[in-house]
Structure 1
Amino acid sequence: MGQIIKGKPVADAISETLTKEVENLKVKGITPKLVIVRVGANGSDLAYERGALKRCSKIGIDAAVRELPEDIAQDKFIEELKKVNEDKSVNGIMVFRPFPKQLDENVIKYVIAPEKDMDCFSPVNVAKVMEKDKTGFAPCTPSAVIEILRHYKVPMQGKRAVIIGRSMIVGKPMAMLLLNENSTVTICHSKTVDMPEVCSEADILVVGIGRAKMIDSKYVKDGAVVIDVGINVDKNGKICGDVNTADCEPKASMITPVPAGVGSVTSSILAQHVIKACKLQNNL
């Protein structure tokens, strides 16, 4: 049976380090600050927001929410985002996506200040992830996956990593981060031929396809490490991942649960990014 590897010990270890960093910044008269920009009141956004605010408070980061109406016009949204960009007291901005239909991500992503963009929304940060430029900010979820693998001492160098999903939020940046760890990376998607066979060659399988419990044991090599970044609601109304954990656990050496897996680390990564941004902006 595979070891269930939970996110909380990883999040707590990161938070412990970050708390000390914030204490050192406060001695210099600097307090890192995050602003969350949210349009409307989507349930999953609110859940993430609660976790992020709690984590920031615990670490000592100032955090505020700029809540905007669901029907806000694009020019008004851009005006509000520019205000946060220009606020010298703010080090990091987290913008919840997807947006309502009237807001165009392809326009707005060029407005957010790259040095304050905490979740790789700006094309500047996407390019920095590609180039392995350490002044950039990778998306929080793929970064959380790397931290989990490091915490549980999963070797990445030279290992075959397969990612299911090619989104800009998880799949593509996940591939770059694993490549930066010297893994050999394959991305699977809806047009992949014989996906179970491709996946069953993976030493590390990262799943972010957005379909509840789709991945079963035929996708998993004996002894593989399985990381589930999916968040879905099953037919019984319970939160579940993209992986059928009960079916895959006997074959995997390690497997993350949903909930209590990757999601619980992302707010610590967000806090880590805010502190990094604060240091860069203060030339520290």
Structure 2
Amino acid sequence: QPKLVGFLANDDPAAKKYAEWTAKTCAETGCGFELRKVDKQDLEEKITEANEDKAVNGIMVYYPVFGGKQDAYLQNCVSELKDVEGLCHKFVHNVYHNVRFMDEEETMKCIIPCTPLAIVKILEYIGVYNTVITYGNRLYGRTITVVNRSEIVGRPLAAMLANDGAKVFSVDVNGIQVFTRGDGIKLKAHKVEDIDTTLEQVVAQSDVVITGVPSPNYKLPTKLLRDGVVAINFSSSKNFEDDVKTKASIFVPSVGKVTVAMLERNLLRLTDYQNDIREKPAKSG
């Protein structure tokens, strides 16, 4: 039975809800889950202990803990072979550079951050990806707006969508950037440019609008949306107005359950990698 350990070192209600979902889903699917509530000052030491514990297959931390650079440091404290959230430097680098495997032999696929991966899977399921086109170009011709540019979700999501061929407008309080694959469908990885435009202008062009603003006061006006848009909210707050379905052909109000499913997917993948690595010396001997 794969075992996942979650570290909770804050009082954030969204983090607690995520922890509850994780525990419930793991219980239903037969994965082991242990929530460890720790003082934030002890968190690094506790992560290191879990890295070294062979009984632990996956580690996750419910962020934010300190915020900013200290949280980025903690993300890199988790062993890449146990990083179910895909937040260590190697995995983040690989997402941005469209590197799909951890090893040169291409036997170990990279771990992708859970919430961006959940949103991609939802878009695949509802048919936004064009399965006729070759893998890696299946969003070619799509325009998508992501209202969030956090390092945990918004930025990697924009990169992943652009790497699959979409034109992505990435919106946050500091302005708007456009993530693209450049000219045509031949570029391997995305590029990013700052642009002088408005939320109203980019949303009006978008086939898909994805929101993740962590505030109950933020509402994206329905009148800005084009008819038939796909609207997805990954914030714990309701970012769309109540009448969003008057414009949206598909509305996804939350992605939490799919995110936990992707967490388990990553856990199973990492457990397989750990088992393969342990077996390799025996096979060669």
- The reply to whether TM is greater than 0.5 is yes
Q: Which residue of 2 aligns with 1:104?
A: 70
Q: What are the equivalent positions in structure 2 for 1:1-284 lying under 5 Å apart?
A: 31-69=1-39, 72-73=40-41, 76-100=42-66, 104-132=70-98, 133-134=100-101, 135-155=109-129, 156-190=139-173, 191-192=175-176, 193-212=197-216, 213-232=218-237, 241-244=238-241, 246-257=242-253, 261-283=254-276
Describe the superposition over 1:15-74 as per-residue Cα deviations: whole angstroms up to 9, x where unpaired. Answer: xxxxxxxxxxxxxxxx211111111444322221111111112111111122213xx42x
Cα deviation for residue 164 of structure 1 reads 1.3
Structure 1 CA distance for aligned equivalents of residues 214 and 63 of structure 2: 15
1:249 aligned counterpart, secondary structure? helix
Larger deviation, residues 149-158 vs 59-68:
149-158
The residue type paired with residue 231 of structure 1 is S
Shift of 1:79: 1.6
Contact 2:222 2:240 (8 Å CA) reproduced: no
TM-superposed deviation, 1:117: 1.2
- Taking the aligned partners of 1:91 and 1:53, their CA distance within structure 2 comes to 15
- Structure 2 residue matching 1:34: 3-state secondary structure: strand
Whole-Å separation in 2 of the counterparts to 1:276 and 1:112: 16
What is the alpha-carbon root mean square deviation over aligned residues?
2.1
Deviations 1:93-121 (Å, cap 9, x if unpaired)? 01111114799224323311122112233
Taking the aligned partners of 1:101 and 1:272, their CA distance within structure 2 comes to 27
Identical counterparts, % of pairs: 27
Q: 1:207 to 1:278 in 2, by over 3 A?
A: same
User: Where does residue 26 of structure 1 map in the other structure?
Assistant: none
Whole-angstrom CA distance in 1 between matches of 2:97 and 2:199: 29
- Classify 1:251/1:40 alpha carbon distance in 2 versus 1 (closer, same or farther; 3 Å): closer
| TM-score, L = length of structure 2 | 0.77
Secondary structure of the residue aligned to 1:120 is coil
Larger mean Cα displacement after TM superposition, 52-61 or 206-215: 206-215
- Cα 1:225/1:114, change in 2 over 3 Å: same
Unaligned runs of 5+ in 1: 1-30, 233-240
Structure 1 residue identity aligned to 2:203: C
Q: Contact 1:32 / 1:61 at 8 angstroms: preserved in 2?
A: yes
Q: Which has the higher contact order (CA 8 A, sep 6+)?
A: 1
Q: 1: distance between equivalents of 2:3 and 2:172?
A: 37
